[in-house]
Amino acid sequence: MFQFYNVFVLSIFAFCIVRNDAIRTIRRSEISDFMTSLDADEKKEADSPEYHDVQELYMKQRLDHSIDSNLSTPSAPKIFEQRYFYSSRFVYEDSHIRSSAQKERDTFAFLCMGGEGPGMDKSVLVNSVHCTGDMLELASKLHKERGANVHVFALEHRYYGKSYPTFEDGSSPVKNENLVYLSSRQAIRDVGHFVPFATNKHLNTSVVPWVTFGGSYPGMLAAWARLQLPHLIHAAVSNSAPVEATVDMFQYNNYVTQILQDETVGGSQQCFNVIQEG
């Protein structure tokens, strides 16, 4: 059985800051300052023509999906605003205009899972470290070569980017006791809530195969979403996902050693030697 891990890898303001050799909890004001800087960066991004088709949207997400939860704190909100991105770039405008001899276009929904790396912005559905390669490339192929409609989404992980909850007592969302809501279990249930919501809001049919995509930790979420939500997730593309991670995982180092020397992927013996000597 897959083991679920609490998520402690956050963005730059995730858990603590090292200052004067001391670790301290992030203040709420610092989270606010960070959000302001994100707003400024994203305003510049919004003016770029390459992102014109990408929408930045929000949904009301449950903070605690547990049925019989003992986690809830008195100041915890019941919901928070979770950010997501959507593009219909790979959807034909004439989807409903087909000749009688042609069958209805195949339609898919691709979901990029957040959860590692920088916070998401509109580039996530254009050119980013998250899901650009496999997800968008496959969407493009299905669209151009098979005439399919592919709706593409990216769901920001809770406690990342702009998807932080606001606590009624004004405490920081990354205060120790408030981090109980940050886990892979909760993140997967976020997906379980998001898929019906997005299907109803953005798709013109309820019978659409959803496919999750992700690499590393998001790859774990992509696979677990398929495992835990088979009634919602049709398939998953999970890259480099350590779903069976172990302590002192020497197999990973062995594989990296091979790749560093493999010239077919840009490695070389010289490259390996430099790293080994370092």
Q: Is the same domain home to 255 and 223? A: no
CA angle, residues 237, 243, 246, in degrees to nearest 5: 150
pLDDT tens-digit readout, 102-122: 467 899 999 999 998 778 999
- Extract the runs of DSSP E, i.e. beta strands, from the chain: 16-19, 22-25, 54-62, 79-90, 107-113, 149-155, 210-215, 233-239
Contact in structure between 121 and 35 (CB atoms under 8 Å) = no
Q: Could you give the C-alpha distances from 208 to 77, 107, 201, in angstroms and in order?
A: 32, 6, 13
Residue-level pLDDT at 234: 98
Residue-level pLDDT at 238: 94
- Within a domain: residue 10? no
Q: Is the same domain home to 57 and 151? A: yes
- Within a domain: residue 58? yes
pLDDT at 221 over 70: yes
Q: Is the same domain home to 142 and 266? A: no
Residue-level pLDDT at 73: 59
Residue-level pLDDT at 215: 92
- Token pair for 20: 């004067």
**Burial of 63 (C-beta count, 10 Å sphere; 0-12/13-18/19+):** buried
Q: Considering only 21-35, 119-133, 205-219, 264-278, which range has the smallest mean pLDDT?
A: 21-35
- pLDDT-derived band at 125 (thresholds 50, 70, 90) equals very high
Among 97, 103, 148, 154, which Cα is nearest to 124's?
154
- Within a domain: residue 176? yes
- Within a domain: residue 4? no
pLDDT at 269 over 60: yes
Q: What percent of the chain has pLDDT over 90?
A: 55
Sequential DSSP letters for 116-159: SSSPP-GGGGTS-TTTIIIIIHHHHHHHHHH--EEEEEEEPPTT
Residue 25, domain CATH: 3.40.50.1820
- Token pair for 127: 């050119």
- Within a domain: residue 25? yes
Q: Is the same domain home to 228 and 127? A: yes
pLDDT tens-digit readout, 20-65: 333 344 555 555 565 565 555 555 555 677 889 999 999 999 999 9
pLDDT at 8 over 70: no
Separation CA 111–CA 123 (nearest Å): 15
Residue-level pLDDT at 55: 97
Counting the structural domains of the chain, the total is: 2
Residue-level pLDDT at 22: 36
Residue-level pLDDT at 118: 78
Residue-level pLDDT at 63: 93
Q: Is the same domain home to 161 and 264? A: no
Q: How far apart are the first and last CA of the chain?
A: 39
Q: Scan for tokens 């020397």, then name that residue.
A: 261
- Within a domain: residue 200? yes
The three-class DSSP label of residue 57 is strand
Q: Is the same domain home to 125 and 259? A: no
Q: Is the same domain home to 153 and 259? A: no
Q: Could you give the C-alpha distances from 202 to 74, 153, 194, 206, 210, in angstroms and in order?
A: 35, 10, 12, 10, 13
Q: Is the same domain home to 173 and 259? A: no
Structural domain harbouring 267: 249-278
pLDDT tens-digit readout, 93-103: 865 544 444 46
Separation CA 143–CA 149 (nearest Å): 6
pLDDT tens-digit readout, 136-180: 999 999 999 999 999 999 999 999 999 999 998 889 999 999 999
